[in-house]
Structure 1
């Protein structure tokens, strides 16, 4: 079992959880958690170890998020199609052709680079790597969701 599948299982990503996670509110509030996490970590400069309370709140939200919104049975929104595509990609890699795999690898590289810059910026309390890293993470994830939505559409059209 791949690392991602193990993570999904540990996070309680059942079929029902995937349907709930496909709710656009789930997708967009996860994106909204990014600046909140940055603020929580950055706040260590002002509140010291109390910053961990903010970090903990964001982590609790990210764990609960895929389970709290109403389920999407028929994905029609961009976000819902992307999450349904993510589930397809995670559990049946045979549906992903070579071009899509190359783009996914590129997007993972963009995300990892962005995350590294983000961590560097937060450790050093430097604005430019923090903002640039967060921007790369968000743009990479948005592009990834878009590509996974296309995967879902192709799979649905194929029947």
Structure 2
């Protein structure tokens, strides 16, 4: 008789990453950190720039696993996980991945504007990056049908919804 295999260290770390990143505080602050990064570049504030990069690095595991994931911010993280687990790419000419492709020049524009200290270009570029990213995440939430889970939800995924 075949014994059930225990998940390896990498699988456990990856599960922990996604479970904690599904915390709405993680997803929400991750969205809001981009304008802070652009502001740090625009103002040449090295400390803020370094702190922002450090926050981006630790953000996905900074917050605890959420008790419920039936909110929009958790659902976008769960949808991204499901999208990637299904072997789907994040870049391409198909919808919604084309939104990420379009985001490349917009990101370059935002960074160039911040470096040149062009306030209008920095704001417009930053907004463009955020709109395209949120459009992509919203599209994959709809395509995957992820709903999240709440307390007492019988279809809840115990690995995330606790």
Whether TM-score is above 0.5 comes out as yes
Structure 2 spans left out of the alignment, 5+ residues: 1-9, 149-154, 156-162
CA contact (8 A) 1:111 1:137 kept: yes
Q: Give me the TM-score of the superposition, normalised by structure 2.
A: 0.73
Deviating beyond 3 angstroms after TM superposition, the runs of 4 or more aligned structure 1 residues are 154-157
Q: Give me the TM-score of the superposition, normalised by structure 1.
A: 0.74
Relative distance call for 1:117 and 1:34 in structure 2 (3 A) is same
- Residue 21 of structure 1: aligned partner: 21
Higher radius of gyration, 1 or 2:
2
Does 2:57 correspond to 1:67?
no
CA contact (8 A) 1:22 1:72 kept: yes
| Secondary structure of the corresponding residue to residue 41 of structure 1 | helix
CA contact (8 A) 2:31 2:130 kept: yes
Q: 1:66 offset after TM fit, Å?
A: 0.6
Deviations 1:22-79 (CA, angstroms, capped at 9, x unpaired):
11111111122112111211122xxxxxx22211100111111110212136531112
Greater helix proportion: 1
Distance 1:26 1:41 in 2: 23
**Please, what is the CA RMSD of the aligned residues?**
2.8
Distance 1:109 1:128 in 2: 23
Q: 1:91 offset after TM fit, Å?
A: 2.5
Does 2:104 correspond to 1:104?
no
- Residue 125 of structure 1: aligned partner: 117
For these two proteins, the number of residue pairs brought into alignment is: 137
